[in-house]
Chain A
Amino acid sequence: MEPRELTAANYRTDVWNDWCPGCGNFGIVAAMYQALAEMKTDPAETVVISGIGCSGKTAHFVNTTGVHTLHGRPLPFAQGIKLSNPSLNVLVNAGDGDLLGIGLGHFVALGRRNIDLVVMMHDNTVYALTKGQAAPTLHRGEKPKALNEPNIQDSVNPIALAVTSGYTFVARSYSSRINHLKETIKQAVRHKGSAFIDILQPCVTFDDIHTYDYYNKRVYELKTDDWNPTVNDENEAQEKIMQAIAKSFELDDKIPLGVFYENTLIPTFEERLGEKLPGYLDGPPSREEIERYGKTIVDGDKFGEIFSQFIVEY
């Protein structure tokens, strides 16, 4: 691509955005456009991957490559893309239903691998596009307006789950604090490893509990002078994990925003692969030559050599 300065507006497609007026998602894409512009991201080397629902449409609104996948499955799609071409910049935008409901197994599995990608969870406590059913982030006893009765299932704690699953960058932000979110996205992109951002995002149509007003009154930013989420030494890891979990349960009157946990000492999956496959990082699967003039690159002699275990000469 021609090196040219792209503005935030250049990262926006001309696809009409059909989210409800006032939807919290607008803040999320606005922060993304700014973050991508400030990081001078190459649109062809950046992939926004989404699941299903309102958040799923994000892939169409960002002027990079977009892959709008299946409900609950953006993470395995993203991992296939990233592992076959590790130079790509991969950002997953998915709902709380995608990640913590139907796709929870994938969410935990990604943490175990620490693949270098960013997971941005649109946390709005409801399944909005199907008219407001309870999402896994809705607390027991709460009754957003679409529910007939208060929710009788307990909620998942996304931050605690991410930290214990192995994510090495875990943060929370809020769609209405665009600058905070933008900076958090940039930090997550720069982080080497699986980064998770829990993004509080009001659903203005179906959630009359977790409104802008509700969050505005409660959120506060974790300040560096009395909060250090970073693991500087392997011996600190457990303590920092426990600290992050404890902080993640502060949810009632005051909701902390910021980085809960950060650990750069854990090797990424790509590094783990590179360790056992010497050609992986320089010649990843997508960049390897597999044909010459329409034929396989492995000739008969080489075949015999590679598979000598199976060959018997009579």
Chain B
Amino acid sequence: MGELRYILGGPQGGGLETTSEVLSWSFAKSGYGILSDREYFSNIKGRHSYVHATVSGAENPFHLSYPVDLVGAMDAETVFTHFQEIDRGGYLIYNKDEDNAKYGSILSMEPELKTRLNEFFKANGIGGTLGELSTYLSERRQINVVALSYSSLLRALQQEASVIAAQASRYVSSILIGSIASLVGLESSSLAFGLKKRFRSGEILKHNMIFSEIIARQLQAFSYKRPSLGKSSLSRGKMVVASGNDFVAMAKLMGGVRFQSYYPITPAADESFTLEKYEKVGGDRGSIVVFQTEDEIAAVTSAIGASLTGTRSASATSGPGFDLMTEGLGWAGINETPILVTYYQRGGPSTGQPTRGGQSDLLSSVFASHGEFPRIVLSSGDHSEAFWDTVDALNYAEMFQTPVIHLVDKFLANSIASIPLPDVSKIEVRRGNLVKNGGDGYQRFDFTSSISPRAFIGDERMWYTGDEHNENGHIDEDSENRIKMMTKRMDKMNLIEESIPEERRHALYGDKDPEIVLLGWGFVKGVAIKALEQLRNEGIKASYFHIRTFVPFPKKSVESIFEDVGPENVVDVECNYEGQAGILVRLNTGHELRKHVVKFTGRPIYLSELVEAIRRVLSGSSKEVLNLGA
């Protein structure tokens, strides 16, 4: 098989996140690459959430696809929601105690899904119970149904591990861990490693270990052919297995962030939480202040304040919070203050789809805040890029003394991925044009250079103001001064253009002589690169043009793509309605994208639907709107 794709579903708050972590660490310990995405509602307990993963022995995967090989269900809603996503010959693990459950009576299920199920069940002549569906899947869809009695398993756990009955129900999610490990034949030492990483030691760890053995015994009763991942061909060594939020937090710490301010918002808050876990890392020699503010206005302005004192400072937020930050961003712009805002994109507008993903904040990040000031906008395509882009963003902010916005998709932020250990000796910390003591005549906005020597508050006396100002930082509305000061600031865009090379702004993957080029950004990267392989197998020569910086824009490279393959053969692939990167392509190059593949359901783009959409585009379609995923 080489690749295992699974979905694990259950009620929000039921332990799925833990399940995703334990399995990710366990598979990685056995040498497999993993991508494990989490899809959930804005809800604490009860609504349907699921984990969608790709495990590979050949690569560190960054794509998800349908159909999947296995669905593991904590509850009946998961089976009703995902049964159509299981491949023929695939597996369903579910609780047969719930065989009498009917989808019509599941309160947490949205009415539109019930209507679709109604139609499906009617068309296929199936009654509405879980048991009937199970029979259908087994007999008519050749799915290997692993029907377990969760209550019997939990009773066995109570007896063998002396877990009290009231606590046994907490272990339902562990049934999925044990079942998958057993079905796939995951080494027991790897499973133990994953469990230990999560539960450290003590009772819960012990119970999980015993439970996995109980489940393995139970699964021996099923005579199905087991799915096999085969041996991993990945090279041995250390891997980092973490979510995108965690990768950004690690990079901020390594890159010298010592002040991070934030206001809680999904899907950004996890980053600040992680950073806070490491606040004492400096021991008695230093510290990281993670400051929870009263709103995002205070988050960005306190981070700017910290920056004025010479502290590398940052904030992390999402759409609604970023909107509040925009006035502060402009203040940082006119005051030439380094600041990094990590912008986690979720579905908008307004509250939109607060726990779902999207790429609809690109134009907002490029144009946010009134007036004109230099900025840099970066976007990351995978976990490794998120790490290194954070390092670069911190350097750019100080080198160019201006705000940097780093876009990260929710898909990336909340999915766990494995990547080889980054070579941290390559982490540069470039602080730009600093001056320790400028003396009595120090002028913060000295005209001698676009990047004036920067002293820190506390070392020197200086003035800052959001008004247009003179070299001293005092208000000045003289026309000539205005021209000089605006020019000095805006000239930094030229410097940025000169300093950040074209090859840093984009990456090109796939065929060197393509007939079709997919153009995308952010988390589209992984699935687009994977799609190239499939297209090649079908005889289609394709490449993927990945935009990594929007300001500065990879103008020359985009232009040469259009010249090489012609505008008819460039396909815009994005997770938004308007094709926002396409709009920026047109703005920067004059070229209009004529082919679009877009998705704005809040779910990531899946391999199968992307390949299908490209086939349609090749047969003449100019716009494909994707909608796969529960």
Contact = CB atoms under 8 A, between A and B. Distances in A.
A binds B: yes
A285 B306 CA distance: 8
Given A69-B466, A290-B429, A312 B29 contact: yes
Interface stretch (A27-35, A235-243, A300-308): A300-308
Interface in A82-121: 82-85, 87-88, 105-106, 108-109
Contacts of A304: 238, 421
B465 A279 contact: no
Contact of A106 (B286, B294, B465): B294
Contact of A310 (B30, B250, B286, B331): B250
Contact of B285 (A288, A310, A311): A288
B302 interface: yes
A73 B460 CA distance: 23
B199 interface: no
Contacts of A289: 286
A80 B465 contact: no
B355 to A, nearest CB: 23
A273 B279 CA distance: 10
A65 B465 CA distance: 11
Given A77-B304, A306-B253, A312-B28, A279 B427 contact: no
Given A44-B460, A84-B258, A306-B253, A106 B298 contact: yes
Nearest to B300: A76
Interface stretch (B92-100, B451-459, B505-513, B538-546): B451-459
Interface stretch (B123-131, B240-248, B526-534, B565-573): B240-248
A295 B287 contact: no
Nearest to A46: B461
A109 B292 CA distance: 11
B465 A47 contact: no
Contacts of A81: 305-306, 308-309, 457
A83 B238 contact: no
Interface in B478-513: none
B196 to A, nearest CB: 11
A282 B287 CA distance: 10
Contacts of A273: 287, 289
Given A279-B284, A283-B287, A311-B239, A84 B461 contact: no
Given A65-B461, A279-B284, A307 B302 contact: no
B429 A294 contact: yes
Interface string B431-458: 1000000000000000000000000111
Interface string B372-409: 00000000000000000000000000000000000000
Nearest to B24: A312
Contacts of B310: 84-85, 286
Given A87-B458, A288-B286, A294-B429, A80 B418 contact: no
Main secondary structure of the interface of A (DSSP, over half): mixed
A70 interface: yes
Given A80-B302, A88-B309, A307 B250 contact: yes
Interface string A269-286: 000010011111011111
A276 B277 CA distance: 12
A68 B306 contact: no
Chain A interface: which size bin? 35 or more
A299 to B, nearest CB: 7
A68 B302 contact: no
Considering residues A13, A60, A78, A277, which has the most beta carbons from chain B within 10 angstroms of its beta carbon? Answer: A277
B302 A83 contact: yes
A45 interface: yes
B428 interface: yes
A309 interface: yes
A57 interface: yes
B428 A294 contact: yes
B41 interface: no
A83 B312 contact: no
A279 B425 contact: no
28 contacts: A59-B465, A65-B463, A66-B463, A66-B465, A70-B466, A73-B301, A76-B299, A76-B305, A80-B291, A88-B457, A105-B295, A106-B298, A109-B294, A276-B280, A278-B280, A280-B287, A280-B289, A283-B286, A285-B259, A290-B429, A291-B431, A298-B424, A300-B423, A310-B250, A311-B239, A312-B193, A312-B240, A314-B238
**Top 9 A-B pairs ranked by shortest CB distance?**
A80-B305, A290-B256, A80-B302, A291-B429, A285-B258, A68-B465, A76-B298, A277-B287, A84-B306
